[in-house]
Structure 1
Amino acid sequence: MSSGLIDEPPAPEDKSPSRRRRLLRLLAIVTVIMLAVAATVCGVYAKLTGNVRHIEVTREDLGDARPAKAPTAALNILMLGSDQRGGKNYAGERTDIIMLAHLSPKRNHAAVISFPRDSLVQLPACRSREGLPGQQRHRGMINSSFNFGGIGCTWKTIETLTGIHIDHFVKVDFTGFKGMVDAIGGVDLCIPEPIRDKYVQLNLPAGWQTLLGEQALGYVRARHSLGDGSDIGRIQRQQDFVAAMAKKAMSGETLTDPARLFGFLDAATKSVSTDPDLTPGIMRDLALSLSSDEIPFITTPWRYSTAYPGRVEWLEGPAKKLFRSIAADQPLTSSKVRDTQPTVPLRTKTDTVPYFPEPPTTTAPCTPDPAS
């Protein structure tokens, strides 16, 4: 087994941190808000909360040299988006998304930091647990910590790199949303042009389509056969799909149908893992924070690596400034966000200057929306 992932060729479909950041935000909104809604449904709350898997992260996992907690009631919650796949080229679970949500003491302000999964960083040593070999201290990709030491090692890695004390974690299994889609009878989505993608085994005509679970999973993963084949277009497609799913889940069609609502909530809660101390109240606070369009979603300042093509490295100065503000529970003003993420022209992947892609914008050609 390799000591890290820097000697492996990068996966071409996983180059865009923005894609994972937006997908995690939207899926987290759907899943966590549904958990909050579940608290109001008489008779099913215990069943649904019982679906959530709890994984204990111990002092032995995190070590003694942890960052100090800020002297306030602020909370820092590690959020992971995992993808379980099997097959000839891959088997197991990987963390496609790593983010940190900071909730203010009064829960009236929040900020979210995204850590690109292709980041080359100095990884700490982690103990072995639950059949995983553990991690030796080395330079490697940030998401390799989960492969070597599980959630405890990922938690320790983020604390070590940022100096931010983490209080809780939430992990969402994205393949679980297949069941969520099926439970609400599929999701209506505009397909602007026919899709024939052998990689995800998707065959769809143009126009309004009702996508069921397997089709939905193929659609949000598809890249090669759509547009110019880049991740930029896929970001928008994923955002459109999950937004459509949230709309369907929160519609009267779902909320007034007890069987359909329960099926959706059941599938959603089965996709979530947390630490045992993450209470429904904290989940509610997290849901409300993620639902706000006003909170800053900040990608750790980075640039493409010249030594390892396809990987990225953090900009030390701006990254430290950002982490210190979060660790000290200092509000992230718009000026501070601009300082950590300067506006620069779009660059190619071989450039060594900071790369901060603009969010994509597209318009769907199908009108009217049959669900409206």
Structure 2
Amino acid sequence: MISARRSSRGPLARHGRQRTSHPIRPVLTFLGAALAVVAVSTVSLAAYATWDVTRSVTTVSLLSDLPAEGSDGAAPAPPPSIDAIDGGVNMVLVGSDTRTNQGDAYGEDEGGALNDVTMLIHIAQDHSSATVVSFPRDLMVELPDCPDGGEYTAPINVALSLGGLPCVVLTVESLTGLSIPFAAMIEFNGVIEMSNALGGVPVCVAEEIDDPYTGVFLTPGTWDLKGADALGFLRTRHGVGDGSDIGRISSQQVFLSSMIRTIKSGSTLTDATKLYGLAKAAASNMTLSDRLASPDTMVSIALALKDMDLSKVSFVAYPNSYADWVPEGKVAPDEDSAAILFAALAADQPITLTQTGGLASTTDPNAPVSTSPPATDPQAPAAPTDPSVPVDPASPPAPPAPGELDASGAVVLPDDVKGQTAADYTCSIGNE
């Protein structure tokens, strides 16, 4: 039985040994700095807030932002409004494990940095849906020719060390076939400060989480996590699921979906002070691509997400499997399932999962229950059928196959694409 929320209890972190090679999992929600900036840009202190926030931003040019070889050297034209981007907008979010200028709490600064969190966000052109794809840090991929390395197969999380944020974006573009004009990167302290600015995120724990590597100890129940506790929960791998990075992704989706619900259901969107704090926390601890750093761009992205139906915000993990050709502990891309996922995003189509949850998450038994039947849209397109296949009127129609459309017009994903929507109440599962 899940116990009541434990917001009155003391710190949950039981600080054990810190292993410096243990990867970080600081996760920025798909709203990022954009959500905060949009609100402070629409209240009475807009002028000062926008100036004060944007002056703290560190920027970097993506490879697509640089003048083409043989050109006159002029910078490319600024991107159009996201409403005008054909096929929706794509953005990469990166969580870096760097210890540089992050204090002593995260282990020794060994130099270099890995992109141990890599997420792709697709926002539909009509702003009706959004999809967040998490790439396992141990996913073996063909790395592109980045500044500090040639083309070869390696875990995706080395891309940051080979060429910074631009190399991560180029790697994701190569893997997905999508064009990605926007990117952002966040570090340890940014996760702590942003969770503090939100006032905490309620997280359900179904089974005890005990991870001496990150110092996280959580008993079953619902915990309000912020600061170092939120960071520790997002970092823990040994404490959840099967102890793998794949399990950690599904546990992080528990946090992310709750965070989105917290932002949309609470006073965040109408509290100028809270929004300003969130914007400052993000801007002071993030690196943004040149085009994303524009206040106008951040505002337009936030406006696209602000009123989106929670059930239309999907979090999925890049499909993967263990294979003979990858080193022990690494995973191989499931290219067939991935092709269905990214074909849907390239066509700007919504997606639907065959089931909710993953290796380290399960449905919350105390989730709110809707008292009204689900609404149906009489205008929704019917799932396509094969006219050559006879239909038995006495039998119900077969469910759509992966890659086909369901009754709502969403692309059905294969069952090895795991995840949930922001409307799904889930709990993290400890590693027994």
| TM-score with structure 2 setting the length | 0.59
How many residues align? The count is: 323
CA distance 1:109–1:363, shift in 2 (3 Å) = closer
Task: Look up the SS of the partner of 1:101 in the other structure.
Answer: strand
Does 1:201 pair with 2:215? yes
What is the distance in 2 between the residues matched to 1:126 and 1:106? 34
Q: Could you say which structure has the larger radius of gyration?
A: 2
Does residue 1:116 correspond to 2:136, yes or no?
yes
Equivalent residue number for residue 57 of structure 2: 52
Match of 2:125 in 1: 105
Is 1:172 equivalent to 2:202 in the alignment? Answer: no
Q: Is the 8 A contact 1:85 1:92 kept in 2?
A: yes
1:59-96: CA deviations, max 9, x gaps? Answer: 597977xxxxxx96234423223133433585443212
Of 89, 95, 110, the residue aligned with 1:82 is 95
What SS is found at the alignment partner of 2:194? helix
Pair 1:271 & 2:288 matched: no
Match in the other structure for 1:156: 170
CA–CA distance in structure 1, aligned partners of residues 349 and 221 of structure 2: 45
1:138: how far off?
Answer: 1.0
DSSP 3-state at the match of 1:280? helix
Q: CA RMSD in A?
A: 4.4
The amino acid that maps onto 1:264 is L
Aligned sequence identity (%) = 29
Deviation, structure 1 residue 245: 5.6
CA contact (8 A) 2:96 2:187 kept: yes
Question: Compared with structure 1, are the counterparts of its residues 342 and 160 closer, same or farther at alpha carbon in structure 2 (3 Å cutoff)?
Answer: closer
Q: Which residue of 1 aligns with 2:5?
A: none
Retained in 2: the 8 A contact 1:110–1:289? no
Task: Pick one of 414, 428, 432 that aligns with 1:342.
Answer: 414
Q: Secondary structure at the match of 1:143?
A: helix
In the superposition, the TM-score normalised over structure 1's length comes to: 0.66
The equivalent residue for 1:312 is: 331
CA shift, 1:39, in A, is 1.8
1:289/1:164 CA distance change after superposition, 3 Å = farther
Higher helix share: 1
Q: Deviations over 1:224-279 (max 9, x none)?
A: 45787566875676455556666666677767876555333321332333222221
Q: Which runs of 5+ in 1 are unaligned?
A: 1-10, 15-19, 65-70, 128-133, 344-354, 365-372
Q: Distance in 2 between matches of 1:361 and 1:232?
A: 19
Alpha-carbon distance change, 29 to 291 in structure 1, aligned in 2, over 3 angstroms: farther
Question: 2 CA distance for matches of 1:342 and 1:50?
Answer: 44
The 8 Å contact of residues 109 and 289 in structure 1, kept in 2 or not, is answered as no
Whole-Å separation in 1 of the counterparts to 2:195 and 2:313: 27
In the other structure, the counterpart of 1:137 is 151
**Other-structure match for 1:125:** 145
1:153 match: secondary structure: helix
After TM superposition, give the deviation of residue 155 of structure 1 in Å. Answer: 2.0
Whether 1:96 aligns to 2:116 is yes
* Matched position secondary structure for 2:31: helix
Q: One-letter code of the match for 2:50?
A: Y
| Offset at residue 215 of structure 1 (A) | 2.9
Tell me, which stretches of 5 or more residues in structure 2 are unaligned? Answer: 1-20, 70-83, 100-106, 353-399, 405-411
Deviation at 1:208, TM superposition (A): 7.2
Structure 1 CA distance, aligned partners of 2:186 and 2:162? 19
The answer for the alignment partner of 1:370 in structure 2 is none
